[in-house]
């Protein structure tokens, strides 16, 4: 397997994984139709790149003993990807689906009529069958070019009235569609070979791979603009959850009963909904721990909303040391105010962010390993 094969297979696999992941995250959101089209495009194009990689194409052809089968499978997947890309535009969905179905059927019929043969590592057809191969290559070239040009025009038109992340996403879509036009133009070489020699290249060559991967990357980046804010919030949740660890660990060491549920392990913990739930559960547990810590507090040093984070952390540390020395003390009456006021409601992003600042200050005061348990 050559370097080009590896590059093409890795790129295709990355596109498939990305498409499947986005499908899993968007399947419950019926409003994100355009998003679903973009990620179907990613999966179909990724599968096409894998199937048409020279090493993969040889393996498939040797297994099924049907000359040109990898080429046909890759081209059908590519047409399906292009159809998904075309659905992002404002044109009639029904008309585009009919056109895509007709194109797929035409490719299968033209492939059968061409009677492609395999000899000495090359695909070829007899002279009387060349028109069918030329027609096949023409469809493969013109259909994607037509969709890419329409997407480029639509994205450029919409970007003129958009702003912010939407404008950036539309410009990326436009650039990706323009790269797609250049990529499909490389198919003219296949038409020339079919017309004058009757030969057909099997799989993607290095030039086609170099042109195709940037096109796919730009289209996916532009079509995933709506996911950028969700990704930023997911990353913020990860950082905030870890920042709350030192303060939560110290409170849990003294008051294990604050844990509402056992910690989740594995990749499922990183899912956006699970991570957000875990973050705000940790915020509530910290407040419960601070509430239990109030009987050990001397003076009002923990109740001032204007106190510095370091002062609050120092007061919590003193109270924890006293709680460790004297043992737990139950609350005899409800407390009208929380132990640590932050000026934000429990369960909000602002509340979690402010507690994270206090937790970081607490970690600096305690040093490595102090008041910590596994989180």
Last residue of a domain, one of 202, 223, 244: 223
Task: Indicate whether 247 and 105 sit together in one domain.
Answer: no
Q: Which domain holds residue 181?
A: 3-223
Last residue of a domain, one of 166, 195, 223: 223
Token reading at 343 = 């000026």
What per-residue confidence (pLDDT) applies to 134? 92
Strand partners, 200: 123
Task: Indicate whether 13 and 144 sit together in one domain.
Answer: yes
Task: Indicate whether 218 and 269 sit together in one domain.
Answer: no
Residue 371 domain flag = no
CATH of the domain at 107: 1.20.1070
Token reading at 26 = 């968007």
What per-residue confidence (pLDDT) applies to 297? 63
Residue 375 domain flag = no
Task: Indicate whether 273 and 328 sit together in one domain.
Answer: yes
Residue 281 domain flag = yes
Task: Indicate whether 115 and 177 sit together in one domain.
Answer: yes
Task: Indicate whether 208 and 342 sit together in one domain.
Answer: no
Task: Indicate whether 235 and 202 sit together in one domain.
Answer: no
Task: Indicate whether 98 and 17 sit together in one domain.
Answer: yes
Residue 40 domain flag = yes
Q: Residue 106 CA to chain centroid, in angstroms? A: 34
Residue 374 domain flag = no
Rounded to whole angstroms, the Cα distance separating 38 from 40 reads: 6
Residue 360 domain flag = yes
Task: Indicate whether 255 and 142 sit together in one domain.
Answer: no
Task: Indicate whether 323 and 177 sit together in one domain.
Answer: no
Residue 257 domain flag = yes
pTM: 0.61
Q: 19 in helix, strand or coil?
A: helix
The total number of structural domains in the chain stands at 2
Last residue of a domain, one of 181, 203, 223: 223
Residue 198 domain flag = yes
pLDDT in single tens digits along all 375 residues of the chain = 677 677 778 878 888 887 777 676 665 454 455 566 777 888 888 888 888 887 788 788 778 878 888 888 989 998 998 888 777 665 677 888 898 999 999 999 999 999 888 776 678 888 899 999 999 999 989 998 888 888 888 888 888 888 777 788 888 888 888 888 888 888 788 888 888 888 877 656 667 777 777 887 887 777 667 667 777 888 899 999 999 999 998 888 888 888 876 555 555 566 777 888 888 888 988 888 888 887 766 544 444 444 577 888 888 888 888 877 776 554 443 443 344 554 445 557 888 888 898 888 888 888 754 444 334
Q: Where are the alpha helices (DSSP H) in 93-205?
A: 93-114, 130-159, 164-185, 188-196
Q: Where are the alpha helices (DSSP H) in the chain?
A: 3-26, 33-52, 54-64, 69-86, 93-114, 130-159, 164-185, 188-196, 206-223, 225-243, 245-254, 272-293, 309-326, 349-366
Task: Indicate whether 106 and 124 sit together in one domain.
Answer: yes
Task: Indicate whether 136 and 31 sit together in one domain.
Answer: yes
């Amino acid at each position: 397997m050559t370097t080009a094969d590896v590059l093409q297979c890795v790129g295709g696999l990355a596109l498939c994984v990305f498409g499947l992941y986005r499908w899993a995250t968007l399947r419950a959101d019926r409003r994100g139709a355009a998003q679903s089209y973009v990620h179907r495009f990613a999966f179909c194009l990724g599968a096409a790149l894998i199937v048409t990689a020279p090493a993969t194409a040889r393996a498939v052809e040797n297994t099924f003993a049907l000359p040109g089968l990898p080429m046909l499978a890759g081209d059908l997947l590519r047409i399906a990807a292009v159809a998904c890309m075309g659905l992002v535009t404002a044109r009639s969905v029904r008309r585009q689906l009919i056109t895509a179905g007709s194109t797929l059927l035409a490719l299968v019929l033209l492939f059968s009529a061409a009677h492609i043969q395999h000899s000495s590592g090359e695909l070829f057809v007899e002279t009387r069958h060349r028109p069918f191969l030329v027609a096949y290559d023409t469809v493969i070239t013109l259909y994607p070019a037509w969709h890419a040009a329409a997407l480029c025009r639509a994205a450029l038109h919409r970007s003129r009235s958009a702003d912010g992340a939407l404008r950036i996403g539309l410009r990326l879509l436009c650039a990706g569609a323009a790269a797609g036009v250049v990529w499909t133009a490389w198919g003219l070489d296949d038409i020339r070979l079919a017309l004058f020699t009757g030969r057909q290249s099997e799989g993607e060559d290095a030039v086609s791979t170099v042109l195709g991967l940037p096109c796919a990357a730009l289209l996916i980046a532009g079509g995933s603009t709506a996911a950028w804010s969700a990704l930023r919030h997911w990353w913020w949740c990860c950082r905030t959850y870890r920042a709350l660890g030192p303060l939560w660990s110290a409170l849990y060491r003294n008051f294990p009963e604050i844990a509402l549920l056992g910690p989740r392990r594995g990749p499922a913990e990183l899912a956006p909904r699970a991570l957000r739930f875990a973050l705000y559960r940790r915020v509530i547990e910290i407040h419960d721990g601070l509430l239990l810590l109030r009987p050990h507090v001397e003076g009002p040093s923990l109740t001032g909303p204007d106190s510095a984070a370091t002062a609050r952390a120092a007061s919590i540390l003193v109270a924890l040391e006293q709680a460790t020395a004297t043992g737990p003390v139950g609350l005899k009456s409800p407390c009208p105010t929380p132990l640590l006021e932050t000026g934000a409601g429990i369960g909000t992003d602002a509340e979690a962010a402010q507690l994270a600042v206090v937790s970081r200050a607490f970690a600096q005061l305690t040093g490595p390993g102090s008041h910590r348990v596994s989180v």
